Structures are given as structure tokens and as C-alpha cells.
């Protein structure tokens, strides 16, 4: 027996429908980090990386978040200083969820 034979068809369909589609958010985060590091290494008057960075940030914000943790994680990618907000005791559960999603500390 396998998992499919132990469940009724409706349960199997529910699982397939509820599955989250693949997301490009991780790729966008990495691209943003790369551009930020490249900007830090370029002279201050070189604005060639600003427009691509703004496009990536718009794409990150345009994608509909699936959870509160997902939404907050996106904001953290754009404004890392918000991480200190997660030190509040009443946000411990949210912090744990974000850290589980990113596989490390905020």
C-alpha cells in the first residue's frame, strides 16, 4: 500500500490543489543581494545598477505573499533593519516561522 491508496480521491485532489506553485522569490532575493554587493563595490557616481535593482524590488513586492511570514520575509529582504522588530516576545512565533523558511537566523 502507498499513501495514495490510503486516502480518498478528494483528499488527494485537495493536496494537489493546495500545493504552492514554485516561486521565483528566492532567485529574486539572490539577484538583489548580488546587485547590492556590486553597487557597494562600484564608485558612488555609477548609477547603472540602480534601475535593475528597482525592477527586482518591484517584482519581490508584486508577488502575492502566501503567509504573514512570507510577507515579512520579503520586507526584510528590502529593509534588513526590520529584523530587530522580531526580537519582541509577541513576535517569537513569526520569527521562528521566518527562520524555518529561510533555513537560518534572521
CB-based contact 71:64 (threshold 8 Å): no
Region 52-67: what's the mean pLDDT?
83
Whole-number Å distance between alpha carbons of 85 and 21: 30
Binned at pLDDT 50, 70 and 90, residue 15 comes out as low
Residue 31 falls in which region: left (phi positive, over 0), alpha (psi -120 to 50) or beta: alpha
pTM of structure:
0.50
Amino acid at each position: 500500500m502507498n499513501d495514495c491508496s490510503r486516502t480518498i480521491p478528494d483528499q488527494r485532489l485537495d493536496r494537489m490543489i493546495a500545493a504552492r506553485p514554485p516561486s521565483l522569490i528566492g532567485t529574486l532575493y539572490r539577484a538583489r543581494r548580488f546587485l547590492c554587493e556590486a553597487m557597494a563595490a562600484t564608485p558612488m557616481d555609477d548609477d547603472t545598477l540602480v534601475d535593475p535593482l528597482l525592477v527586482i524590488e518591484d517584482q519581490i513586492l508584486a508577488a502575492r505573499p502566501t503567509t504573514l511570514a512570507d510577507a515579512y520575509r520579503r520586507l526584510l529582504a528590502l529593509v534588513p533593519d526590520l529584523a530587530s522588530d522580531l526580537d519582541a516576545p509577541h513576535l517569537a512565533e513569526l520569527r521562528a516561522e521566518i527562520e524555518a523558511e529561510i533555513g537560518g537566523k534572521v
